[in-house]
Chains A and B, each alone.
Chain A
Amino acid sequence: MGDAAEPSDERLAGEAAAGSLAAFNQLVDRYQSLVFSLCIRLLGDRQSAEDATQETFLSAYRAIPKFTGSNLRAWFLRIAANASKDELRRRRRKGRAISLEESRDPGKSLLDPPDPGESPDDRVERLALAAGLQRALDALPFDQRQVIVLVDVHGFGYEEVATLTHTSVGTVKSRIHRGRERLRRILTDSGTNLAGSAS
């Protein structure tokens, strides 16, 4: 019953475009975890990811009267990807160090929602793998990291990624290929074992 009362994205986007802040904030509630997830994968540290997420919703709020598409999820992620890129640039300009502390210590990692049916050993292993993957991702150039996260973590197709990143499908293909090559090399060098993930 409650689900039936949930307004659709399109309806909320229409109301937000007409000036309803409440409608826009409903969209924020719906998409903030997705956006934050992308930002933290792309930026690697919590503070920058929070800044990029906030900037994403501000940009979206400003631009929503001009929104004409139908895929709000892709639209938010596109803005988030751009905001992350800007945040990364800003961070480089300021010379702010990337905080990897959280991902270095699996116990503290923010990327680890507890799984009730998981044994402590499995959990430690999973968190170690997640930390290793995040470190490897952080070592990739932004463009390669972006396409890998969008394809492998968020499940987008090449064409969608090409639209999101304003590039061609060929560019996405080659970025994925080079990115995964590099990722594999980094993981091999750091001794991160992927075998457990295949099970």
Chain B
Amino acid sequence: MFDALRPHSRWYRQVDAYVDRELPPRTLAHFEAHLRGCRRCAGEVSERRRLKQAMGTLPAVAAPRSFRITADTAMNATARPPAAQPLRLALRLSMALGGLAIIGLASTVAIDLSGRGNSTPAAAPSTLQASSAAEDARRPALGQSAAPLAPTSQGLPTTRIASGAPPPETASPSPDSGRKAVATDMQAPSTGDRRVFRLVEVGFALIAGASVAASVVMVRKQRRTIP
């Protein structure tokens, strides 16, 4: 069904390359075979040839003045390459900023991951620790000394309780209050921290991305400016 349209869409794009003698030999043979049976393409070829010929008749333009470089201009040109110097500085700054942002991002991610790695195993014993800590916390409220309790809470997230003076929550007579306090102590900072980490990571990623994009643009521009 589309066979009638195909030859033109396919060959029509080759008309200019044919006129410019830029078709590879094999395509050239096929194109010439098509041209013999296709008036439309033959017409296009002669139109293009006329246009090319007309363009070729555009006269060469003599330079209206001398563009010789004087000694002063030469000295200025070598002393102060315009645009290239500020561009180079901006490129260096941008690359440095990008590098710092990437280092910052990597460090933040590492800290975030290591923090999560530590908090996960700690979360399992926390339930047991929470109950014993609550028990410990209740004792001072009952008039017992906090000192003997210190060894039992060593190395656990309840070190604040073992510090001697009971925290304000532990003064509550409720048996659950100590458990809640400890559980809150363990979760609240990690949730908040994660949010902060996310924000910092996103910030670093944005800065790094923008710096890399700016550097790529500047490198391209520099390549164009300095042949």
Contact = CB atoms under 8 A, between A and B. Distances in A.
A binds B: yes
Interface string B39-62: 000000001111111111111111
Interface string A98-119: 0000000000001111000000
A197 to B, nearest CB: 4
Interface of B: 13, 15-17, 20, 22, 47-69, 71, 73-74, 77-78, 81, 223-227
B214 to A, nearest CB: 18
Q: Chain A's interface: helix, strand, loop or mixed, by majority?
A: helix
Contacts, number: 131
Contact of A40 (B61, B71, B226): B61
B57 A126 contact: yes
B58 A111 contact: yes
Nearest to A148: B55
Given A61-B74, A82-B224, A197-B53, A33 B62 contact: yes
Given A36-B67, A60-B227, A152-B56, 19 more contacts: A21-B74, A29-B68, A32-B66, A35-B67, A41-B61, A50-B65, A57-B67, A59-B225, A61-B78, A62-B81, A82-B224, A110-B61, A113-B62, A153-B56, A158-B20, A158-B22, A173-B13, A173-B16, A177-B16
Nearest to B73: A58
B47 A184 contact: yes
Contact of A37 (B16, B20, B50, B60): B60
A176 interface: yes
Contacts of B53: 197-198
Nearest to A63: B227
Interface string A116-143: 0000000000100110011000000000
B50 A36 contact: no
Contact of B50 (A57, A111, A194): A194
B69 A194 contact: no
B63 A36 contact: yes
Nearest to B223: A166
